Amino acid sequence: MLATYELTTGQKRFIWHHLLVAMVALAIGTLFGPLQAFEHSGLDLYKYLDPVIKSYYQGLTLHGVLNALIWTTFFITGFITLTTIKGLNRPLSHPKLNQTGFWMMVVGLLTAAVPILLDQATVLYTFYPPLQASWAFYVGLTLVVVGSWVEGWGFYLTFYQWRKENPGVRSPFITFAGLVTMVLWQFATLGVAVEILTMLLPAALGLIEGTDPELARTYFWFTGHPLVYFWLLPAYISWYGMLPKQAGGKLFSDSLARLAFWLFLLLSVPVGFHHQFVDPGIPQTWKAIHAILTFGVFFPSMMTAFTVIASLEYAGRKRGGTGLVGWIRALPWNDPSVASQLLAGILFIFGGIGGLTNASYEVNAVIHNTTWVPGHFHLTVASAVTLSFMGISYWLVPHLKGKKLYSAKLGVIQAWTWFIGMLIFSNAMHVLGLLGAPRRTPLGEALYVPAEWEGHLLRVAIGGAILFVSAILYFWNIYKTVRNPETAEVEVPIAESREDPQNTPAWLDSWKPWLIATVLLIIVGYGPQLYFMIRDISLTSPGLRLW
């Protein structure tokens, strides 16, 4: 049995800085959530924020960029720093490289934040051209992405050093899964990097006359869909590799868990055209191919559902639970970290179903560009991911700060209020979408709102208000924990596997074939269509500022 490596104060501080930036971003971004939800019900509070915040769309940009891009990226890089160090039982091999990456991300965040706050980048978090933001917005986002790459290189070098000293030993699951997440991110963000560096930034600087919106959208969704898995996989790391320990059990199958991660890496990039089903410039054949590949992602998703639930059933039965479903009650629901992640998983059931609906070529026509879509991704990134990250932080912040969690009871209440608020909010958004309500629209100002939408729009506001209260409870609990005079030593919960990981087949711990297969599938899935789109590029759409 290896001695467990304990993080130094400096390492803990480094990870905490990631979380701190992430939480500040979430706190500011969350402020705008209820404003949008209230606006939908006819209560427009934005007019009272003028001149600080000038429009609904500026608020929506802040909400999307800070919550979907900044909160997630900083939390994830901090979390993977932890899973790398704790899994490998060693410090980072090149800590200065990781520190450089972190500070690049911080500088990038500040560079992008200034134009957003000055209303010079009200382009929403997808920043589709021909909408054109200040050049600083694109430079800032690029720095955030490149900074996260640099941190990733630090993880790879640390792993490489460990591998040289431990040939033939199965890599620890949490480290393996963290590295797969980072590799996926680095493949995925090539799309948005090319988009910004070849089109958006030169256009914003006046170096080229315009952009090619169709090609830009294709680059964006090259990144945009696997981005969802970059958000989800760290939650899965916790669900597979930590939650079973917290619940009192073990990981049901190390092999299944690794296979699921490899399949996510393999399949999550060449699926972006399912976000472009109504884009006229993409042939139907390619849309169909990406639709099929998207359904391929259903398999690792179901493997994850099975393995995680089986791990929880194992824990529940070990705790004395009986019957087909009686073990669920035996799980430690009074632990805020466990409750958050269980409730996040339940919400994700509906997120997964909605996702398959989105990905279905014809059925997508019913819900495309409606409020169904934000209803859906609030179940994924704002529930499965964010509620899980909140749950993780209920042990991670005490671990990093050496403080006792201020209130476990408050944490459980927070998890349930998030769950209830999100059920109300997202259900209303889905129903409104089916009734034809457009997304990204200040519906409170719209003159065409039929009576049948009104009750649902009110539910959007009620759900948003409950979520806002839940967010306040979360930040209060974290703040009081950091300030808590009561100290505590909280361990990182790392679940054992039921079977010795050394018995996991070697091909599930071998990078080369999976990386080659991933590159080949990306080339096959995107290569021909990108070739034609780049060959016929038409940089003729001038940048627009519609705000």
Partner 1 sequence: MSDADFDDREFHPRGTVLIVTLFVLLLIVLWGSVYVILLARGTTL
Interface positions with partner 1 (CB under 8 A): 248, 252, 302, 305-306, 309-310, 313-314, 316-320, 322-325, 327-328, 349, 352-353, 356-357, 360, 362-363, 365-367, 434, 498
Instruction: Select 210 or 248, whichever has its Cβ closest to partner 1.
Output: 248
Considering 18, 40, 217, 225, which one is annotated as catalytic?
225
Considering 377, 425, 474, 526, which one is annotated as catalytic?
377
* In the complex, minimum distance from the CB of residue 173 to partner 1, in angstroms, rounded to a whole number: 19
Between vectors from CA 227 to CA 22 and to CA 80, what angle results, nearest 5°? 50
Q: How far apart are CA 425 and CA 465, in angstroms?
A: 9
* In the complex, minimum distance from the CB of residue 377 to partner 1, in angstroms, rounded to a whole number: 17
Instruction: Select 195 or 313, whichever has its Cβ closest to partner 1.
Output: 313
Does the annotation count 217 as an active-site position?
no
Instruction: Select 13 or 329, whichever has its Cβ closest to partner 1.
Output: 329
Instruction: Select 141 or 256, whichever has its Cβ closest to partner 1.
Output: 256
Helical segments of 199-253, H only: 201-204, 213-241, 243-247
Q: Are 219 and 192 in contact (CB under 8 A)?
A: yes
* In the complex, minimum distance from the CB of residue 162 to partner 1, in angstroms, rounded to a whole number: 30
Region of residue 226 (left: phi > 0; alpha: psi -120 to 50; beta: else): alpha
Instruction: Select 322 or 369, whichever has its Cβ closest to partner 1.
Output: 322
* In the complex, minimum distance from the CB of residue 324 to partner 1, in angstroms, rounded to a whole number: 5
Say whether the peptide bond before residue 485 is cis (omega within 30 degrees of 0): no
Instruction: Select 90 or 498, whichever has its Cβ closest to partner 1.
Output: 498
* In the complex, minimum distance from the CB of residue 241 to partner 1, in angstroms, rounded to a whole number: 18
Sequence-separated contacts (24+) of 273-278 with Cβ below 8 Å: 273/218, 273/221, 273/529, 274/225, 274/358, 274/359, 274/361, 274/364, 275/221, 275/224, 275/225, 276/217, 276/218, 276/221, 277/361, 277/364, 277/365, 277/368, 278/365, 278/368, 278/369
* In the complex, minimum distance from the CB of residue 305 to partner 1, in angstroms, rounded to a whole number: 6
* In the complex, minimum distance from the CB of residue 493 to partner 1, in angstroms, rounded to a whole number: 17
Q: How far apart are CA 108 and CA 122, in angstroms?
A: 17
Q: Are 466 and 415 in contact (CB under 8 A)?
A: no
Q: How far apart are CA 207 and CA 73, in angstroms?
A: 30
Considering 90, 163, 368, 439, which one is annotated as catalytic?
439
Is the CA virtual torsion 428, 430, 435, 439 positive or negative? Answer: positive
Instruction: Select 498 or 545, whichever has its Cβ closest to partner 1.
Output: 498
Q: What is the largest CA-CA distance in the chain?
A: 68
Sequence-separated contacts (24+) of 130-133 with Cβ below 8 Å: 130/210, 130/211, 130/213, 130/541, 130/542, 130/543, 130/544, 131/543, 131/544, 131/545, 131/546, 132/200, 132/203, 132/204, 132/543, 132/544, 132/545, 133/200, 133/204
Q: How far apart are CA 372 and CA 363, in angstroms?
A: 12
Specify the DSSP class assigned to residue 541: B
Does the annotation count 319 as an active-site position?
no
Considering 376, 399, 456, 459, which one is annotated as catalytic?
376
Does the annotation count 317 as an active-site position?
no
Give the residues across from 218 on adjacent strands. none
Does the annotation count 439 as an active-site position?
yes
Considering 14, 159, 229, 273, which one is annotated as catalytic?
229
Q: Which of 242, 258, 274 is nearest to 86 (CA)?
A: 242
Does the annotation count 376 as an active-site position?
yes
3-state secondary structure at position 211? strand
Does the annotation count 229 as an active-site position?
yes
Q: What is the CA radius of gyration of the chain?
A: 23
Instruction: Select 360 or 484, whichever has its Cβ closest to partner 1.
Output: 360
Instruction: Select 118 or 278, whichever has its Cβ closest to partner 1.
Output: 278
* In the complex, minimum distance from the CB of residue 352 to partner 1, in angstroms, rounded to a whole number: 8
Does the annotation count 18 as an active-site position?
no
* In the complex, minimum distance from the CB of residue 215 to partner 1, in angstroms, rounded to a whole number: 27
Q: Are 262 and 514 in contact (CB under 8 A)?
A: yes
Give the active site residues.
225, 229, 376-378, 439-440
